[in-house]
Structure 1
Amino acid sequence: MTVDQSSPQTTEDFPFGPDHETWEEILQSQGLHNGQAGLVSGPLKNPTHEYPEEPGIDARDFQIAGHALTDVQRRRALDSMARYLTYKRDHMLGYQFSQDTDGSRRDLSRFLDFHVNNMGDPFDRGGYKPNTRVAERAVLDYYASLWHAEWPHNPKNGESYWGYMTSMGSTEANLYALWNARDYLAGKMLLKTKSDGKQTLTYVEPETSPKNEKLVTPVVFYSQDTHYSFGKGMRVLGMYNVYGAAQKFKYMNEKCPIGDGWEGCRDGVPSNKDGEVDIDKLYKLVKFFVEKEHPILVSLNYGSTFKGAHDHVEEICHKLLPLFEPQHLEHELTFGPKQKVTRRRFWIHVDGALGAGYGPFMRMASAEPHVFHWTPEVTLPAFDFGVRARTKKGKSVDMVSSISMSGHKWPGVPWPCSLYMSKVKYQMAPPAEVPVIGSKDTTFAGSRNGFSPLVMWNALAQLSYSDQVERCRIATELAEYMERRLKEIDITPSLEVARTPGSFSVRFRRPNARLLAKWSMSEVGDHVHAFVMPSTTREEIDELVYDLQTSDAFIEPAPHIEHEESFEAQLAALPSVELADGFISLGGVPISGRGME
C-alpha cells in the first residue's frame, strides 16, 4: 500500500489527550513532522465536542495518541471510569441487567492471565487447547435440563439438544436461530458430494422451479413488542415478515386476514396492552400464509424487552398445529435422483432473553409452593422443548425448535453473553470440520469468548434451585413494591403506572432527560420502564420515587449543548422519498419503541 504524503492533513489547533497537547506536538514527540504527518491522519475536529458527553468522565483522559500514557495518567483514567460505573450501577433501573456480579472478580480475576478461546463446536476437543469447553458444556447441560431437552448432547440422536454460548447477547442467538430456521425451512443442507473424483462437502438447496419460490421462502411472524434486533437479523439474512412477504408475492391486493390491514403488520403481529402477541391475529395471519404454501417461522417472546410480557407459547402451539397438518408436518425435498429428505415446514423460536433464565424457577415455585415456601402471583406459561401438541390422529409433536437466553440478564454476569439451543435434527448436518481450528464449524463466530462460560458456570454453581426461586421472589416483591410506591405519587397528570402480571418491569410516564440519564431508563414514546432485578434495593426505589416528586421532574430544560442534535431532529431533516410501484418492503425499522433506541 502506498501512503500519499504530498499533502498532510490540516487539523484544528486544540488540546488532545491527558497532556492537552496539540496534534502537531504529539507527532513531533514521535519524530513525525516536516511532511511525515501523512503517515497517520489527524482529527479534523475536536472529538470531545463531537461525541456525547458522559458527566463525570473527562474524555481527554481516554484519548490515545502516538505516545503511551504514563502509569499515573492511565490509572487516573481507570479510576474515573470506576467511579462513573459505580454510580451508574447504583442508579440502574432502566434495563433488565443484574448488577450482582461481585463473585466474578473474587473468583475469576486470575483467569485474565490466560487467552481462553472456545473456537468451534463446544462438543469437540478442538485444536486450540486453552479453552473452557468443559464449563460451557456444563452450563448447556444445566439449561437443557431446565428446558426439558434430551441431554447430554448426543450427535447420533436427533431429539438430543445442541447449542453453544455466544460472544454477544441474545442478538447473536436470535440471529443464529433465524439463520438456522431459514436454511432448514428452505430445504438447504450440507451433503457429501464427489467432484473430479474428490469427496467434498457441498451446501445445496432442493430442486424448485421459479413459480415455486414461495415453497422455500419462509415468512417470519413476531409481535410488535419483539426486540428490535430481530428485525435487524431479518434484514441481514434477507428474510420477510408478514408485510414484506405480502408485497414480494403480490398478496397486497388480497384482503388482509386481520382488521388492522397489511399496514398494521408492517412492524410485526399486533400485541395486546400487556405486550403479549395477539393470538387470534397471529393464527389468522399464519393460516393465510400456510394456505399460500409458505414455510412458517414464528418467534415468541418470554419476558419481552419493554413490558416483560410472556407469550403463551403452549397455547399458541396447540392452536397452530392443526394449520400445519398434514403438509407442514412432513414435506419431501429432492436434491437428486437418489437424494431425498423429509422436513417439517414450521419452526417456533422462543426469544427468552430474560424469561428463559428465571421462568423455570417461577414455574417450579408455582407447581411446588410447599417446597419453595412461596407462590408466585401468576403461573408463567410453559415455553420450552417440553411443549408438545397432538395431531388430529393423536400423534404427539414437539413444537419448539429453538430457544435463546441472555446470561447477563439472568443469573447476571459482567458482560453480554447468551445461549442458543436447538436440537440435533435441526442442524445443517453433517457440519464441516475446519482444519485450522480442528473442530466442526457449527457456531456463528469463529473465535468465541471462552471467559463467559466460566463466569456463567461460576454464577450457577453458587445457586441451588431454591436459591434461584428466592431470587425470583425478591425481584417480584421489589417490583410489587415499586408499583405500589409509584401509584402513591399524587401528581397531575398521573404517572400512568402499569405492570404486566408476573413481570419485573414497571412502566410509567416519562420524566425529564436528567432523570432518564441518572437512572439509565429506557423510553418508548411517552413512557419509560424500570426493571427490578434481584440486585435492586428498596433504597434505590425510594430514591427514584423522591426524584419523581421534585418540582422539575417532568420539565425539560432548554438544550445546553449546541452540537448535540436529537435523533428526532435528524430524522425530520431527512427528505421523504416516494417509492416506485412494485417496491418490496423488508419490514419497518423501529425508530421509537422496543425500549432500546
Structure 2
Amino acid sequence: MVSLFFFFKDFEPSAVTPRGLAPPGLIVNGDFSEMMRLKVSSTPTTPRKNLNLSVTEPGKNDGPSLDGTLMNYIDTLTQRINYHIGYPVNICYEHYANLAPLLQFHLNNCGDPFLQNTVDFHSKDFEVAVLNWFADLWEIERDQYWGYVTNGGTEGNLHGILVGRELLPDGILYASKESHYSVAKAAMMYRMNFENINASINGEMDYSDLKAKLLQNKGKPAIINVTIGTTFKGAVDDLDVILQTLEECGYTQDQFYIHCDAALNGLIIPFIKNMITFKKPIGSVTISGHKFLGCPMPCGVQITRKSYINNLSRRVEYIASVDATISGSRNGLTPIFLWYSLSAKGQIGFQKDVKRCFDNAKYLKDRLQQAGISVMLNELSIIVVLERPRDHEFVRRWQLSCVRDMAHVIVMPGITRETLDGFITDLLQQRKKWYQDGRISPPCVASDIGPQNCACSYHKIDFIIP
C-alpha cells in the first residue's frame, strides 16, 4: 500500500504517482501534453458516482483498505481529467511530486503577511514574494500596496468590497447582472445598498444603465465592481468607460471606489493589453490562483492600496500580529504552490499559455460554427459559449456548466486540440440523435448569445442572405 505520509529523507516521487497518471519524468519543461495523451480514451468515461463512504474504527472495516479506497478514487479522477472542460480550473498542475513533502507540516499564515508571527510554521516569506510579483504585474509600487493570499476569488471579492465599504460607509454597491454571485453575497453580508446593472447580450456591463443609476443616486458614494472576464461569457467590463461615466456624472475620485474582479482573466489580459493597472484610480484587484495559473487547492490573490487597509486592521495580541484579512487563519501551503508555479512558468510561459488558449478557443468556435452550431466567443476571452446540449448525460460526461439555453467550454492551458476534437465528435454524434438527423430543428438562442451567433433555421438564413 502507498503511504500518504512522506518525509524528505524517504521521499520518492514515483511512489506517489497514481495509477493512470504519468510519472514526473514525462512532464518536460512544463509540457503536460504527453501526460494528457496517455489518458485519452476513444470512449468517454462515465461521470464518477458518490462513493457512499463512512468513517470506520481501525480493524473494523470489512471493505477496501484506506489506501485502496484512496487509490480507486485517484484512478477515477485521473480518468475524468480529459472531460473537465466546463469550469475554469487549470488541472495541469505538474508539481505535485516536488511539493508533496510539505504535507507533513501544518503551515498557517495567520494575520498580516508582512508581519512575522511568534510561530515558525508559516510561509509568509513565500506569500510576500507572490504578492510582489502581482504588484509588479498590476503596476503598483511595493511600498504602496497591501494584500494577501486568499482562499479563492469569492474571498477576494468579499475583501475588496469590504475595503470600499469601510472607506465609503454610505456607498452604494454597483455591479452588473453578469457579475460573480459573490458580489451580491457581499452586499447581503455587509447590508449594503445594491444596484444591479443591466448587461449587454455579450455579458458586458450596460454603461447607459450604470450612468442612469449613478445620476439617480447622486450624492451617495459609488462602490463599483468591475468584472474583468464574466463567469459565463468571459465579457470584460471596460474600466476606462466606467471611469469616464463616473466623471460625466460628477463623481470625484474621493466619491468612488472600484474593485476589479479578475478571477480568471487577471493572468490573461496583462499579457495582451495593459488594462489592469493601479495607475488608474482603482481600489483593489483579485484573482483566483487555482484557475489560469493552477493549484491543487482553491486560492487567490487580493491586492489593495496600503493607505486603505488601516480601516480594517486590528491588533490581535494572541497572534502577536495585525489582522485585516477575512479568514484570519490561512492555508500556508498555497503561497508556496503559487510561488513555485510563478517561478517555474515565468512571464514567457504565461504568454505561451495565453496564446495557446486563445488559438484553441478560436479553433473550437470555428469548428462548431462550421458544423452549424450556435456559438459565441467574446474578444479577450477563452470561454466558448454554445447552445445547451439536450441530454443531461452528455452534460455530466463533459462536466459542462449550463445557464438557460447555453453551455460553455473554458479552454484552459491543459485542454488540448485532441480533447476538443473528442468533444466536437461526441457532440455531433449526439446531436444527430437529439435532432433526428435534421428532422427536428435546434432551438433559437439569439436572446442569449445574439442573432449573429445563432444558427437556428431562421437566423441562419437571415445572416446568409443579404
Alignment TM-score, normalising by the size of structure 2: 0.79
Match of 2:69 in 1: 77
> Secondary structure at the residue paired with 2:91?
coil
Rg larger for: 1
| Alignment pair present for 1:416 and 2:408 | no
Match of 1:504 in 2: 382
User: 1:512-527 to 2 correspondence within 5 Å?
Assistant: 512-527=391-406
Match of 2:246 in 1: 320
Cα distance in 2, alignment partners of residues 555 and 430 from structure 1:
55
Please, which of 101, 117, 120 is the counterpart of residue 110 of structure 1?
101
Please, which of 265, 284, 299 is the counterpart of residue 225 of structure 2?
299
Please, which of 126, 148, 168 is the counterpart of residue 164 of structure 1?
148
Cα distance in 2, alignment partners of residues 460 and 532 from structure 1:
20
Cα distance in 2, alignment partners of residues 129 and 385 from structure 1:
33
Match of 2:14 in 1: none
| Alignment pair present for 1:278 and 2:269 | no
Match of 2:353 in 1: 471
Match of 2:139 in 1: 148
Is the 1:88–1:520 Cα contact (8 Å) retained in structure 2?
no
Report the AA paired with residue 163 of structure 2: N
Match of 1:229 in 2: 182
Is the 1:406–1:417 Cα contact (8 Å) retained in structure 2?
yes
Please, which of 278, 291, 303 is the counterpart of residue 385 of structure 1?
278
> Secondary structure at the residue paired with 1:164?
strand
Is the 2:360–2:417 Cα contact (8 Å) retained in structure 1?
yes
Structure with more of its chain in helix, by fraction:
2
Indicate the percent of aligned positions where both proteins have the same amino acid.
29
Cα distance in 1, alignment partners of residues 313 and 55 from structure 2:
43
> Secondary structure at the residue paired with 2:327?
coil
| Alignment pair present for 1:449 and 2:331 | yes
| Alignment pair present for 1:289 and 2:213 | no
Match of 1:15 in 2: none
Please, which of 85, 89, 93 is the counterpart of residue 81 of structure 2?
89
| Alignment pair present for 1:549 and 2:442 | no
Provide closer, same or farther for how the CA distance between residues 125 and 315 of structure 1 changes in structure 2, counting only shifts above 3 A: same
Cα distance in 2, alignment partners of residues 96 and 430 from structure 1:
31
Match of 1:406 in 2: 288
Please, which of 110, 120, 134 is the counterpart of residue 129 of structure 1?
120
1:209-244 CA-partner distances (Å, limit 9, x unpaired): xxxxxxx2x2111111111121112111111212xx
Match of 2:55 in 1: 64
TM-aligned CA deviation for residue 67 of structure 1: 4.9
| Alignment pair present for 1:181 and 2:134 | no
Cα distance in 2, alignment partners of residues 539 and 553 from structure 1:
22
Report the AA paired with residue 158 of structure 2: L
Report the AA paired with residue 287 of structure 2: M
> Secondary structure at the residue paired with 1:222?
strand
Cα distance in 1, alignment partners of residues 380 and 100 from structure 2:
36
> Secondary structure at the residue paired with 2:284?
strand
TM-aligned CA deviation for residue 106 of structure 1: 2.2
Alignment TM-score, normalising by the size of structure 1: 0.63
Cα distance in 2, alignment partners of residues 416 and 72 from structure 1:
29
TM-aligned CA deviation for residue 354 of structure 1: 0.8
1:33-61 CA-partner distances (Å, limit 9, x unpaired): xxxxxxxxxxxxxxxxxxxxx9544623x
Match of 1:205 in 2: none
After superposing the two structures, state which structure 1 stretch, 228-237 or 544-553, moved more. Answer: 544-553
TM-aligned CA deviation for residue 137 of structure 1: 0.2
Cα distance in 2, alignment partners of residues 301 and 430 from structure 1:
24
